[in-house]
Chain A
C-alpha cells in the first residue's frame, strides 16, 4: 500500500477539522434553538469518518448512521446543504424532510444516515450487487456502531456480501457505548472484528483515533473489494466526547473516559504528525483553520438565509410518478 503523500495528509487534516468544527458549531446552534429535532454528534470520532472516506473515491458509496454528519462531510458533501438540512430548510439536501438523522447526498454517493440502526448492513450487499452487475469498480462502505452490531442485519448483510464477494467494506465505529449501554455488557465475545472469521473474510481492529491507522486498514479493504475479492470488516475503536445525543446527561459514565478521549484527540494527533514531518507549522495550521471556519460560517449563513419549506412540499417526493390518488 502506498502511504499517503503530503497533499493527502493535509487534505485529511482539513477534513478532520471540518468535521470537528462543524459538529461544534452544530452543537452551539442546537443549544441556541436554531436546529430542531435531535442531533447525535461525532466530536472525538473524526478519524473514523476521515480515515474511511480518504480511502474512497467520490463515486464510491457510503451507508451511514444516525451519527452521520462527519461521514457526509468527509465524503465531500456540501456543508451548505447539510447545514440547511439540519435547520429544516427548503434548501437542505433532503428539502427539510430528513433532518440530522436522515441526511442524504446521492451526489457524493452518501446513501443516507439512518434512524434505524444497522439498516445499512443489509443494503450494502445490494449496492455491491449493483456495482457488480453494472461492471463498475466502485465500492460500498457500510458504517455501523458497536451497539448496532448486535442486530441481526449485521450478520445477514455480512454473510450475503461474503457469499456474493460483494465489493463492500463493513466499518464498525466502536465508541464503547450504545446510548447508556456499554459495549462490554452488551456484546458477547467482545470483538466485532473477530466475527469476520465466521464469514471467512478479513477482520481487523484499528485505533479509531488514529486517522492513518483507519486509512490504512480501509485502503487495504477497499483495494481488496475493488479487485473483486469480496468484503472485509474493520472495527475502529474510538471515544465519543459528547453525549449520545445533545442534551444527554450521561449518567452512565464518568468523566475519565472523556478525559481519555481528549488526551488522545484525533485531530491533534494528526496535526502532531504533520508538524513532525514539517508539513505544517503554526501559521499553516491557522490558515487551514481559518479557511475551514469560513466554510462553516458560509454554511450557517446559507442555512439562516434559506426559506423554510412550503407546507405543501410535505406532500411531494413520495412517489416518482404523480398524480397519486389515495
Chain B
C-alpha cells in the first residue's frame, strides 16, 4: 500500500488506463498543467499533446466531441474543470450522451467518462460550489459514481474508463488533498458496490463523498455517547448497491442519509426512497436526512458555513432517529 492524495490516486488511474489502452485520451481546460486541482498534472509529458488535449473554453464542444469520439471507437475522459460548468454542456450530457445508445436501438456504445470536480468550500461562491450529482441520477442513461477516498477514486475511475457506457465521476474538491492508502497492484472497483466505511450496530449512516468523512467524525462523537453508527458509502449512485444498504439497515433498523447538496429532489431523496422500498419492515424510526439547504451557496464564510452540512448535523440526526 502507498499513501497518496485523492488527486494523485486519480492521476494514477488515468496513467494506468492510458498506458493500457491507446484509445483513452483526456480533454479539458488547462489540463496540461493540471489546473486547478492537479489531477491531470504530468500526463502531457508522458502521453503527449495528442492524448492530453488542452481545449478552448468551449464546454459544449468539449463534451460533444467526446461523444463523437466515443461513438466511433475512442475512450475520452473529460475534465469538467468545475462540475458547475456542465450546465454549459447540458444538452450534450442530457440529450446526446445519455440517450444515443438507447435511441439508436443499441447500435453504438458511448464509452466516455466525465470527471466532475464539485462541491462546497473556501468561499468559492455560487458558481463554483455546487453539488450537482442529483441532477444526473434523474437522467436515464448515465452511470454516476462518487468516490470518498483515494483508493475508491482510483478503482472507480479505472472501472469507469473501461465501462462501455457513459460514466460521471463526482470528485469532491475538498477531498483532493485528502490522503489514504492505495494498493500497489492494479485494483478495479466495480460500479454498484457499496463499502462499509465503519461497522456499527445502532444506526446506519448512508453518506457520499465529503459527507462520508463527516459521518466518520460523527460516528466517533457518537461512540463516546455509547451509540454505534455504521457508515455505508454507496460509492456509485447509478448503479446502486441496494443489497448492501438493505443489509446494513436489517442490522441497525435506523437510517440517516447524508449528502452535501440541497435537500430537495436530491440523490439523498432517492436513497431514502430506495431504503423505504427495500427495508420498510426493518425500520424502527423514520429516515432522517442531512443535506444542504435549498439555497445557492453564498460567498461569505459565515453564510457558507450555514449552508455546509457537517459532522455535528450528522450526529444530531443519528441521535434523533435513536430517540
User: In chain A between 176 and 222, which residues have their CB closer than 8 angstroms to a CB of chain B?
Assistant: 178-181, 185-187
Contact partners of B295 in chain A: CB under 8 A: 314-315, 318
Of A124-132, A157-165, A223-231, A305-313, the one touching chain B: A305-313
Given A98-B125, A181-B54, are A314 and B33 also a contact pair (CB < 8 Å)?
A: no
Contacts of A88 in B (CB 8 A): 123, 299-303
> Contact at A98–B299, with CB atoms within 8 Å?
yes
- Interface flags for B232-271 (1: CB within 8 Å of A; 0: not) read 0000000000000000000000000000000110000000
Whether, in the assembled complex, A283 has its beta carbon less than 8 Å from a beta carbon of chain B, the answer is no
Q: Are A180 and B57 in contact (CB under 8 A)?
A: no
User: 1/0 contact trace for B286-304 toward A, CB 8 Å?
Assistant: 0000000111101111110
Which of B29, B32, B300 is within 8 Å of A99, CB to CB?
B300
Q: List 11 A-B contacts (CB under 8 A).
A: A96-B300, A98-B299, A150-B57, A178-B29, A181-B29, A181-B57, A186-B56, A308-B300, A311-B306, A314-B306, A326-B294
Q: Does A114 contact B (CB under 8 A)?
A: yes
Interchain nearest-CB distance for B245 vs A (Å): 25
Chain A residues near B61 (CB-CB < 8 A): 152
A314 to B84 alpha-carbon distance, docked (Å):
20
Whether, in the assembled complex, A116 has its beta carbon less than 8 Å from a beta carbon of chain B, the answer is yes
Chain A residues lying within 8 Å of B178, measured Cβ to Cβ, are none
Instruction: Specify which chain A residues have a CB less than 8 angstroms from the CB of B55 in the assembled complex.
Output: 186
Instruction: Known pairs A99-B125, A181-B57; list 20 more (Cβ under 8 Å).
Output: A36-B299, A88-B303, A97-B296, A97-B300, A115-B84, A118-B57, A147-B57, A148-B57, A150-B58, A151-B60, A151-B88, A152-B60, A152-B88, A178-B29, A179-B35, A181-B29, A187-B56, A308-B300, A313-B303, A314-B293
Other-chain contact of A97, B57, B87, B126 (Cβ < 8 Å): B126
**B127 interface residue (CB < 8 Å to A):** yes
Q: CB distance B303 to A96 under 8 Å? A: yes
The answer to whether A311 and B29 touch across the interface, beta carbons within 8 angstroms, is no
B179 at the interface (CB under 8 A from A): no
B24 at the interface (CB under 8 A from A): no
Whether A252 contacts B33 in the complex (CB less than 8 A), given A99-B300, A315-B293, A326-B263, comes out as: yes
Taken together as a complex, chains A and B put the C-alpha atoms of A185 and B49 apart, in Å, by 12
* CB-defined contacts of A314 to chain B, threshold 8 Å: 293, 295, 298, 303, 306-307
* B163 contacts the other chain (CB 8 A): no
CB contacts (< 8 Å) of A326 on chain B: these are 263-264, 294
Which residues between 23 and 63 of chain B lie within 8 Å of chain A, taking CB atoms?
29-30, 32-33, 35, 54-61
Partner of A115, one of B56, B125, B263, B293: B125
- The number of chain B residues touching the other chain, given as a range, is 35 or more
Contact call B301/A308, Cβ cutoff below 8 A: yes
B85 interfacial contact with A, CB 8 Å: yes
Q: Check if A20 is an interface residue, CB within 8 A of chain B.
A: no
Decide if B108 is an interface residue (CB 8 Å cutoff). no
Is B299 a contact of A251 with CB atoms below 8 Å? no
B126 and A36 contact, CB distance less than 8 A: no
Q: How far is the CA of A37 from the CA of B56 in the complex (A)?
A: 25
Question: Does A117 make an interface contact (CB < 8 A)?
Answer: yes
In the complex, B122 has a CB within 8 A of chain A: yes
Interface residue B69 (Cβ < 8 Å from any Cβ of A):
no
Contact A38 B124 (CB under 8 A): yes
